[in-house]
Chain A
């Protein structure tokens, strides 16, 4: 089930969407995110620049869920770590509703309702991604602590066994 949004409308929407997300950051940061075009010097800006269009296309045209999840992952993975509340981290998906209202030519209630409901779908995927990223941060932390002590324990055990079965006792 496809929504009716022209290429031109989509381009405008992505640009506006990008601006709104970037303006959520402090002014100095927003300027940097907007102006630095090198993807390795500005991975946050590059992620937004490259992934917003495919996310919007998925919302409008539907299609491969795994692909949109991967696009959302690239953005949410970063926001899951920044100084944001969980709602702030995924709210960038929601503001697309306002962007649509502002730019789309078809302003009928039907078109709006359909679009908004697809945005809700994307928001839920973003929430899944966010939860997964947070879980991964906790797992990584636990793993680091565990690995550190595990190695010591392994060696202690090995020495203990060696001592217990060493030449003097056999």
Chain B
């Protein structure tokens, strides 16, 4: 039996502070639940990525190419030349600590290497050692260190503990984009075959079929029709989904989770009901059947490759402009990479709502409008009739999804919509919303079940703020505009704020939407009574 005193017992073993942080060591075996499984051979081979093999982070030997250090060194050098931002981010940090306590993984885990500054140092120390004069001469004295296998293992552990949410970047006085640092580290690891399956498989699927789930066009169509039939059976509402229609005015791009997994499916049906009601001439594409782009978590080349299908399908189908659904990182790619990677286009028109006449000047270059911008404009111009009392059983708060908020600046439109379709709306505390929003802790490829412990740790700050509004205002629904959120927030809420459900914004729009010729609505999109259970009991 242990002879430890209580004070000794309580000491937490998070290596860095007791040893120097530069001495890396990660015990994967004892930290199960906090890392993701490596990329499967099939997906790696399909994509032509490096070093396909069976391996596990718990293995001593990661079966790396013999010259793996040289490969990473060369890859680093190439990227420093190619991306000026990388060189700036490697050089400018003054370790002021402004970012240190802003990461949800640090707040939840207490592990100092989850401080963004220290996470970046994992890469920066190699940069110093390999590419600066001081580092080459003075080594560790100048903050440099050699790229050893232990360092690489530490990279894998901590760079796949960053959701690229960019909250830390909001506070950086130099504007260092830590997400880009993580992206580069992941890109370098990809060169030697160090990656995770939750990213590689969706990437391979997306490349093959156009969506993360590997759904082929006929199944895409079947699935959407299935959801529409369910809607007809449950609520007696008929919608006619439009797929691959040439000459439609608008191409509508959605995250695949919206037409495949609850609660995203309710949001998906919400989009279709809205389009049906306003008579929008739109089409979905069975090939560009995914808004999400896991290339963002793989490499710049892969982002470009997977993103290309959107403009390609827009051209093939001959549409005038594009609406994008409630997807998260699609908007980071669209807003910050698409235009230079695959645009600007010469075959699309500046988006103009055919219903209100509003020209979306903000999308003049990309030609792609967020559905919340589109719907908010409809509401503002009184083009749709809404009955917010149909959402009265819900007491709603709004989670600013990281990418639409911090990468796109979309703060007001979803709130404007929610306040028009619900009677009970409550904000979470100021420092947890808008650009300060806390991540769901499952983005950037980390939303897999084997990583659940880390997701729940990182989910603490969001869960804590959610619990606060649940307790203070009886909030029972958190709405959001990201498909990954809709998949990862339900477990987070179950652990940290039980009793709160998760929805998309357009699910609530559709609940409130008064459609032509509709019969009296008694149920919401989930097939539940419009009234809260307690009210029903009182009625009886």
Contacts and interface: CB of A to CB of B under 8 A. Distances in A.
Interface string B363-388: 00000000000000000000000000
Contact of A155 (B226, B452, B457): B226
Given A32-B101, A36-B101, A137-B453, A88 B262 contact: no
A83 B12 contact: yes
Contacts of B111: 26, 29, 83
Nearest to B452: A141
A40 B460 CA distance: 10
A84 B31 CA distance: 10
B13 interface: yes
**Residues of A in contact with B, size category:** 35 or more
Interface string A41-83: 1111010000000000000000000000000000001100111
Contacts of B537: none
B464 A43 contact: yes
Interface stretch (A3-11, A105-113, A143-151): A143-151
Nearest to B14: A26
B7 A95 contact: yes
Given A27-B17, A94-B9, A95-B7, A141 B107 contact: no
Contacts of B14: 25-26, 29, 83
A98 interface: yes
B260 interface: yes
B261 interface: yes
B217 interface: no
B429 interface: yes
Interface in B5-58: 5-7, 9-14, 16-18, 31, 33-34
Contacts of A41: 101, 107, 431, 461
B495 A91 contact: no
Contacts of B464: 39-40, 43, 46
Interface in A119-170: 136-137, 140-141, 143-145, 147-148, 151, 155, 158-159
B452 A137 contact: yes
A43 B461 contact: yes
B112 A28 contact: yes
B495 A44 contact: no
B109 A83 contact: yes
Given A82-B12, A98-B6, A145-B449, A44 B261 contact: no
Given A98-B6, A137-B452, A43 B107 contact: yes
B222 interface: yes
B108 A91 contact: no
Nearest to A150: B262
B107 A140 contact: no
B110 interface: yes
Contacts of B13: 83
B216 interface: no
B220 to A, nearest CB: 12
A97 interface: yes
Nearest to B454: A81
Contacts of A159: 222, 226
A51 to B, nearest CB: 13
Interface in B217-261: 222-223, 226, 260-261
Interface of B: 2, 5-7, 9-14, 16-18, 31, 33-34, 100-101, 106-112, 115, 222-223, 226, 260-262, 429, 431-432, 449, 452-453, 456-457, 460-461, 464-465, 468, 491, 494-496
Return the 10 tightest CB-CB contacts between A and B, nearest first: A26-B17, A43-B464, A24-B10, A91-B9, A94-B6, A95-B6, A29-B110, A28-B112, A141-B452, A140-B491
Given A26-B14, A78-B460, 17 more contacts: A21-B10, A24-B10, A26-B17, A26-B112, A81-B453, A81-B460, A82-B457, A83-B12, A83-B34, A83-B110, A88-B10, A98-B5, A144-B491, A145-B449, A147-B262, A155-B223, A158-B226
